[in-house]
């Protein structure tokens, strides 16, 4: 009893000491505020404040979707998602603003009472960080809301066939925002060689009708691995649609699930796609990805496809005449938030390799870091697509031997490049962390493993990768509050309740129930709950007319939390009066003492007496962070904290508590200051007049980067500096780029540092000290890429070895001259390659060298096969004419031999040609398609210079042409065999053989006509024609040429040979049936 009396005595004493503080909070009610609150709240009995987990003072916070679960303290009338009494309002500093709201995931205590639900609303455009959000509701029936249905979901089918035989088709969900289509999400179907299921398609702004021409980017969220050497051997979980389901279709948000599996039933994917209304051009769609491995699989063939979680797919297609073939683009940069900072990788806007070129392979070990995002776009500004992950770890489930994490890879390929038509492809994949340096590449994916991750697919049209980086911080804070379950089952709920009881709070005039019921601006106590420095909840104290006041935070997980108490004054001014930290592992009641607010004054100067910006100042009490502030350019920074009086406590046995248990003096505050990652100050503050002065010595540093040639790097290499002495390991980026290769870092503290440069897997670093190492820090960029140069004849045939040399030039300067048989190792950059025969230029090419590459250069060296075959055919034709003239052979035999010669000549000639010339005649372009070899050679003549190149034709077509050549060879063979029966057996079996040869050659002509017509339609719109065509000569801008195109002499020569064969066949038939003698006799009569 004595202990209890001591407790009440001390409590009364403290109340007396703080009585003046209590009197200071007598309400001064603004009639204007009261009128504004009452004018909106008329008819709504209850309200609860909403605590949002993000800061809203930045531009990127505008229109962020808030989707969180709320439990109602009082009865809330509501029947369903559309008919209810729930309204969300924002106090913008002068009035209440009703926000559009959507509810779903409803729990009801009876048919007309909602006990809890998820609410969705957007942060308004006027948000500045000071606004408040309140949900109003009532226990009586209300009229339905009249919010605009901004987002709609449609189940549709699409078919697109730009030319015969090349099509895109599939079922998809179409997401419309107001009047525009923003996304399509594939259910099943195919686009080029890609399955359409589990693929989100970002449409261009303003799209009214779904069309491939209006697509901006594709992002696939299926799991895949390689099961053979060909692209077609890829096994993916999007190959069979299992099911689809619309989960939510509201006015601000739509949500649906798509489930699919692989054709071998080993892979299963069930993804939930969520789209929130977002005004403006920038858009986001969230995906809850869930992959399951049903059977153990082993990766084989292409080892870079070693288990993907998903892929960004970027196409670029262009055609001079076919508008349906003009869509997409390949953007120049990929930025990866890796575990070593932000890495930048360059893509080729115009890749020239017909095989996939891996810019980032598994050997580069490009792993995501804690920031966990990638950005594919134009750099620091401009159009950029990003994938943002809630975390880079915690992805792998049910695995016994599987690395956690996300690994990035990137590849490019040219599908087609012929006569101005071009189709290029780039893929950026995120997948298993299957490789680590000095460890075995993990190519076995075990049975039963699951991969689960939250991803946001975000597109900005102006913000660059910086916008993706900003969006990342919001997504990571918001996604834990969203209620998304990929399996459709129950979500395990957090189970603990934290009850906070404020003491000594001056509550004499604090009655929140009166504030709630009357709308008067009475002062009340509010509390903010933080976990990991993130605001997760905010509540107003609950105090009946008789009894103690308290605050309850239900449904919490175990962990460490911080409670901050404020006195909310008229005009919504908040005064910081108390705080306490607690490690929660059960339901507890937490007692927190309140005092008064005081200001901590911190003065921060550099060595010249100037104020220093961006110094992070933190006020700590033991392990708890009480308050923070960031300095500006003026020296003095003020931070508000509660006066430290008594420690908060948790006590379960109040009867046996002592005065010491209940009233322990609080620890003094500790001030910690951080700048550029360094802890620059640490001191204990005076409790009565807390203030400190900090002096900081800072300097400017210039980092100079040069490559192996002693030149500024020809690729985008940005140095970063860091220090082992940083308590928060950050990478400092340059403040300015003074000139290529010279980067200035401003206001760097005195210390020892490491400057690091990286590019496409290469890293180099150098240690230095500030200011001891001087103002300029040189570092070498010694990355090299292997370049192998192959030489082709003027018809595209490989030359195995030669005495030729290759000259390498960069920015107009000669770098080196080497033999073409040697592999070249060059710093990454753009190079001009010239093939020299002695000193004569015979071929050239421009190469963007960002990864190891093998290139083929077409030269003016004539084809030996062409010369030999053509010369032999001419000699054969000459001999035939002589033999026939001297009557050594019959007409029939002569014709058959002529066919051989004619076809040999025709096979060596172009079968399709293009010729175009500019108006002033300075630029000429010609293209020739050959049957042997199966290539198309493109030639530019610019003034007196000649440039040859090999067109990229789909492998399917080149295989087709090679087959035609085999058929022609077979036809010629049949013609030759047709002589055998007559010469050896003296029989006329040769007729069937001749007929077969004729049919073969006619089929070849018709087949080539059809196949080449498909290729020509892609670029020129027709097999034969003429008109003004845009072309892009080397080292020059696009120019219009007057062009004509059509079937070449080779086609007509072989067709002529087939006609001769027909004539010879008729003669054979007539001779066999003695029709020729009959006609002669009849003519003689």
The answer to whether residue 880 sits within a structural domain is yes
* 14 occurs within a structural domain: no
For residue 789, what is the domain's CATH number? 2.60.40.10
Residues 807 and 884 in one domain: no
Residues 499 and 477 in one domain: no
**Per-residue pLDDT at 31:** 32
Burial of 633 (0-12, 13-18, 19+ CB in 10 A): exposed
- Its pTM stands at 0.72
Q: How many domains does the chain have?
A: 7
d(CA 435, CA 38): 63
Q: Among 675, 696, 717, give the residue marking a domain's end.
A: 696
What is the SS3 string spanning 1014-1063?
HHHHHHCCCCCEEEEEEECCCCCCCEEEEEEEEECHHHHHHHHHHHHHHH
CATH number at residue 739: 2.60.40.1120
Percentages helix, strand, coil for the chain (3-state, rounded to 5) are 20, 45, 35
What pLDDT does 997 receive? 57
**Chosen domain end from 113, 137, 161:** 137
The pLDDT assigned to 55 comes to 87
Domain assignment present for residue 2? The answer is: no
Instruction: Name the stretches of the chain with pLDDT < 50.
Output: 1-39, 488-493, 513, 517-518, 985-986, 989
Domain that holds residue 823: 785-858
* Domain-located, residue 992: yes
Q: Which two tokens stand for residue 91?
A: 């106090």
Residue 37, in any domain of the structure: no
Judge if 435 and 328 occupy the same domain. Answer: yes
Residue 942 lies in a domain: no
User: What's 97's domain CATH number?
Assistant: 2.60.40
pLDDT tens-digit readout, 644-690: 989 899 887 777 778 877 888 889 999 999 999 899 999 998 888 88
Strand partners, 649: 591
pLDDT of residue 976: 66
Q: CA 731 → CA 68, 676, 771, distances in Å?
A: 34, 9, 19
Domain assignment of residue 23, yes or no: no
Segments in 733-846 forming alpha helices (H): none
Same domain, 197 and 334: yes
Task: Please check whether residues 884 and 1002 belong to one and the same domain.
Answer: yes
Give a yes or no: residue 57 inside a domain: yes
Contact 714, 788 (CB under 8 A): no
pLDDT at 113: 94
Structure confidence at residue 15 (pLDDT): 44
Q: Are residues 957 and 990 in the same domain?
A: yes
579/601 Cα distance (integer angstroms)? 20
548 and 681 inside one domain: no
Q: d(Cα 472, Cα 374) in Å, to the nearest integer?
A: 10
Cβ neighbour number for residue 585 with a 10 Å cutoff = 10
Asked if 270 and 341 sit in the same domain, the reply is yes
- Predicted pLDDT of residue 34: 42
| 274-280-281 Cα angle (round to 5) | 80
Q: Do 381 and 439 belong together in one domain?
A: yes
* Pair (825, 884) in one structural domain: no
Q: Which residue, 481, 507, 535, sits at the end of a domain?
A: 481
Distance, CA of 298 to CA of 291 (rounded, Å)? 16
Half-sphere exposure of 754 (CA within 13 A, CB side): 15
**Beta carbons of 1065 and 994 less than 8 angstroms apart:** yes
Res 395: pLDDT: 94
- CATH number of the domain that residue 209 is part of: 2.70.98
Residues 374 and 437 in one domain: yes
Measured distance CA(982)–CA(988) in Å, rounded: 6
Averaged pLDDT of the chain? 83
967 and 1049 together in one domain: yes
pLDDT in tens, 156-195: 998 877 655 566 788 999 999 998 999 999 998 876 556 6
pLDDT for the residue 485: 58
Q: What is the pLDDT of residue 489?
A: 39
């Amino acid at each position: 009893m004595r202990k209890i009396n001591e407790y009440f005595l001390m409590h009364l004493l403290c109340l007396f000491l703080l009585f003046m503080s209590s009197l200071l909070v007598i309400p001064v009610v603004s009639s204007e505020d009261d009128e504004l609150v009452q004018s909106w709240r008329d008819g709504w009995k209850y309200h609860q404040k909403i605590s949002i987990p993000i800061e809203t003072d930045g531009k990127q916070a505008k229109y962020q979707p808030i989707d969180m679960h709320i439990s109602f303290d009082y009865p809330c009338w509501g029947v369903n998602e559309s008919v209810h009494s729930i309204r969300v309002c924002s106090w913008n500093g002068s009035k209440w603003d009703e926000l559009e709201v959507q509810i779903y995931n409803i729990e009801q205590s009876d048919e007309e009472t909602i006990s809890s639900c998820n609410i969705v609303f957007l942060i308004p455009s006027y948000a500045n960080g000071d606004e408040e959000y309140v949900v109003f509701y009532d226990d009586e029936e209300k009229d339905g809301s009249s919010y605009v249905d901004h987002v709609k979901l449609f189940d549709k089918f699409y078919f697109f066939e730009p030319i015969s035989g090349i099509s895109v088709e599939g079922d998809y969900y179409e997401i419309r925002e107001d009047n525009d289509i923003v996304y399509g999400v594939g259910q099943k179907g195919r686009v080029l060689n890609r399955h359409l299921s589990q693929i989100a398609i970002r449409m261009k702004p303003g799209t009214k009708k779904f069309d491939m021409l209006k697509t901006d980017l594709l992002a696939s969220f299926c799991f895949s691995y390689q099961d053979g050497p060909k692209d077609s051997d890829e096994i993916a979980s999007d190959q069979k649609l299992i099911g689809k389901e619309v989960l939510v279709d509201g006015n601000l948000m739509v949500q649906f699930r798509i489930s699919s599996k692989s054709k071998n039933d080993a892979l299963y994917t069930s993804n939930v796609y969520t789209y929130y209304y977002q005004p403006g051009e920038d858009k986001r769609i969230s995906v809850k990805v869930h992959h399951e491995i049903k059977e153990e699989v082993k990766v084989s063939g292409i080892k870079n496809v070693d288990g993907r979680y998903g892929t960004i797919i970027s196409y670029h297609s262009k055609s001079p005449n076919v508008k349906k073939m003009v869509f997409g683009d390949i953007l120049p940069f990929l930025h990866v938030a890796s575990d070593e900072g932000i890495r930048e990788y360059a893509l080729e806007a115009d890749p020239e390799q017909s095989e996939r070129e891996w810019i980032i392979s598994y050997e580069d070990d490009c792993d995501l870091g804690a920031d966990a995002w990638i950005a594919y776009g134009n750099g620091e500004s401009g159009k950029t697509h990003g994938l943002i992950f809630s975390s880079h770890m915690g992805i792998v489930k049910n695995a016994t031997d599987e690395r956690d994490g996300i690994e990035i890879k990137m590849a490019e390929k040219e599908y087609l490049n012929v006569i101005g038509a071009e189709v290029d492809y780039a893929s950026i994949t995120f997948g298993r962390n299957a490789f680590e340096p000095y460890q075995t590449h993990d190519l076995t994916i075990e049975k039963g493993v699951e991969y689960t991750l939250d991803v946001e697919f975000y597109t900005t049209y102006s913000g660059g990768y910086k916008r993706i980086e900003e969006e990342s911080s919001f997504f990571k804070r918001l996604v834990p509050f969203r209620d998304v379950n990929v399996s459709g089952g129950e979500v395990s709920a957090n189970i603990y309740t934290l009850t906070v009881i404020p003491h000594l709070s001056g509550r004499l005039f604090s009655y929140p129930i009166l504030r709630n019921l009357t709308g008067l601006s009475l002062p009340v106590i509010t509390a903010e709950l933080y976990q990991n420095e993130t605001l997760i909840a905010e509540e107003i104290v609950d105090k009946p007319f008789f009894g103690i006041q308290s605050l309850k935070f239900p449904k919490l997980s175990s962990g460490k939390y911080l409670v901050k108490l404020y006195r909310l004054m008229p005009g919504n001014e908040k005064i910081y009066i108390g705080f306490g930290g607690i490690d929660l592992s059960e339901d507890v009641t937490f007692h927190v003492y309140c005092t008064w607010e005081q200001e901590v004054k911190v003065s921060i100067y550099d060595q010249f007496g100037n104020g220093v910006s961006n110094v992070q100042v933190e006020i700590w009490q033991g392990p708890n962070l009480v308050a923070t502030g960031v300095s500006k350019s003026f020296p003095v920074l003020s931070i508000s904290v509660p006066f430290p009086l008594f420690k908060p406590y948790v006590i379960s046995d109040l009867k046996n508590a002592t005065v010491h248990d209940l009233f322990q003096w609080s620890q003094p505050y500790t001030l910690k200051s951080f700048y550029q990652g360094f802890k620059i100050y640490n001191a204990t503050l005076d409790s009565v007049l807390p203030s400190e002065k900090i002096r900081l010595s800072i300097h400017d540093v210039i980092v100079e980067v040069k490559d192996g040639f002693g030149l500024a790097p020809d690729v985008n290499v940005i140095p970063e500096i860091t220090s082992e002495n940083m308590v928060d390991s950050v990478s400092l980026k340059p403040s300015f780029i003074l000139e290529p290769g010279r980067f200035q870092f401003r206001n760097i503290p005195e210390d020892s540092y490491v400057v690091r440069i990286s590019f496409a897997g290469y890293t180099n670093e150098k240690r230095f000290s500030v200011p001891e190492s001087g103002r300029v820090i040189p570092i070498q960029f010694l990355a090299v890429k292997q370049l192998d140069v192959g030489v082709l004849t003027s018809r595209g045939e490989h030359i195995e070895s030669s005495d030729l040399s290759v000259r390498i030039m960069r920015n107009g300067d000669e770098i080196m001259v080497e033999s073409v048989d040697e592999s070249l190792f060059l710093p990454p950059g753009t190079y001009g390659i010239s093939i020299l025969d002695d000193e004569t230029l015979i071929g050239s090419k421009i190469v963007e060298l960002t990864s190891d590459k093998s290139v083929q250069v077409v030269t003016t060296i004539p084809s030996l096969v062409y010369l030999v075959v053509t010369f032999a055919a001419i000699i054969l034709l000459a001999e035939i004419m002589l033999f026939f003239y001297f009557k050594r052979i019959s007409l029939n035999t002569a014709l058959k031999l002529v066919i051989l010669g004619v076809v040999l000549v025709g096979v060596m000639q172009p079968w399709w040609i293009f010729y175009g010339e500019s108006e002033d005649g300075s630029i000429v372009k010609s293209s020739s398609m050959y049957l042997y070899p199966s290539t198309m050679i493109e030639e530019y003549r610019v003034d007196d210079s000649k440039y040859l190149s090999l067109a990229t034709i789909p492998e399917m077509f080149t295989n087709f042409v090679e087959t035609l050549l085999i058929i022609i060879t077979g036809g010629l063979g049949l013609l030759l065999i047709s002589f055998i029966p007559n010469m050896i057996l003296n029989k006329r079996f040769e007729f069937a053989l001749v007929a077969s040869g004729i049919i073969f050659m006619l089929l070849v002509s018709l087949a080539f006509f059809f196949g080449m017509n498909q290729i020509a339609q892609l670029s020129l719109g027709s097999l034969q024609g003429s008109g003004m065509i845009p072309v892009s000569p080397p080292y020059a801008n696009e120019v219009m040429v007057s062009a004509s195109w059509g079937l070449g002499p080779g086609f007509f020569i072989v067709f002529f040979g087939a006609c001769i064969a027909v004539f010879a066949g008729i003669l054979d038939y007539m001779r066999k049936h003695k029709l020729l003698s009959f006609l002669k006799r009849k003519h003689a009569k």
